[in-house]
Structure 1
Amino acid sequence: NHSFGTKTWTSPTSQEISNVGRTPLPFPQPLDREMFTASDFDSDTFLANRRHVTLDELKKELTAHLKSLKSELVEMINRDYASFIDLSTNLKGVDKVIEEVARPLGKMREEVQGVRTTLQGVIDSLESQLSHRASIREKKAALQLLINIHESVRKVENLLLISGDNASATASGDKSGSNVKQIERVAIEYNQMQYLVNRGKDLPFVENIDWRITRIKDTLRINLSSALRLALLTIKDQSST
């Protein structure tokens, strides 16, 4: 010990000198099987945990672990040798069993395919019948429309006193023009006829009777003109008297 003024300096002991510069080294876990089979095993982490171990020591450690695993495998085979032998023996009749199972399965597959083919045929037949019925309904609707158009045109012609079935036939005078109620009835039937004709405008029948429709329009225009003239004359006569 040495004194410097009021302070005393004590020499370090040999134990304290030996501890200077020492740092605790990590001790890696011993190798085991679970370490390598773990789902989170990472080779970089494994080597980092053994960075203080030399490569030779690490190689020896891994080699020893490999020998240990081989020994365990041999012991397992020796312990369960009879089971391994029985396994190969039991597999001898597997092919025959598989063949026996596959035969009815193949037959069943053919039957299922046959049923599917039959069902598909039934479905195709139903679809064909439904399509045929839809076509019949459309044709019936078109036929009914033709009948309605024909009846409507004939009714208007009768109201307008149009006779004859050719384009040269004309209305018989303008008697209908003098009857107001008759004109109203003709107007109603004419509107109905126009509605039906517009519905069937793409039908050949409507094109064939177009001349009759034109004749109706011309006759109706003449009758309306006559009715208007008569109305004006009546008003004039009444005002003069």
Structure 2
Amino acid sequence: MSTAKDIHLYTASTMNGWKPVIFLEEAGVEYDLTYIDFSKKEQKAPDYVKLNPNGRIPTIVDRSNDNFVVFESGAILWYLAEKYGKFLPEDANERSKTLQWLMFQMGGVGPMMGQAMYFQRIAAKQGEEHPFAIKRYVDESRRLMEVLNSHLQGREYLVNDEYTIADMATYPWARAYYWANVSVDGLPHLQAWFDRIDGREATQRALEIPKPFWAFFGKGDVAAQERENAERFKSDVSKSK
């Protein structure tokens, strides 16, 4: 008898990579996991690119749905939420709100904070200093944190006090403000939201799968993990020269 799980997840320890892990751990769904090693460029391997033409993580294969493939982290969260009927409101307007905040993360928080991280934690460590770019992305990331803070006033979570895939998508990025050197001072509603999700055992467990990278959150041996992170993306910097 086969022991293969319905969901086969391909991922790595990044903010996007943790999103489906958070869902699956919170939902109590068993899954098979393949760790994608960036240092070996496994995300660019031909067999993987057949699944995800963008050569990025994460990707899922739903074996129970004729091996249906889903890539892009936000799309994966939406697919899983619909499949399992969890972390997505039933009311049409509430579902739309969830989608709106999911897109806010996908189009704003992730890209802006990702660039702030890249220019400071990777490019600068490889001798590529770009102060204007750093300031632009850090400032815009701070503005987005202020948007979240204002929205969270009087709310437990992003959509009417219900933990949804919008929170799952946004939390690992916003919570990594340390790695982006973005201040969250003076944002009490955002910090209270962090505290609530910090207390969710399943979400915190997910941040250790496939392996922890606590430096993103200012914990552990930050200097060593910063060197590791810069090294694994070294070729990205060299290509831009």
Relative to the length of structure 2, the TM-score reads 0.26
Larger radius of gyration: 1
Relative to the length of structure 1, the TM-score reads 0.26
More helix by share: 1
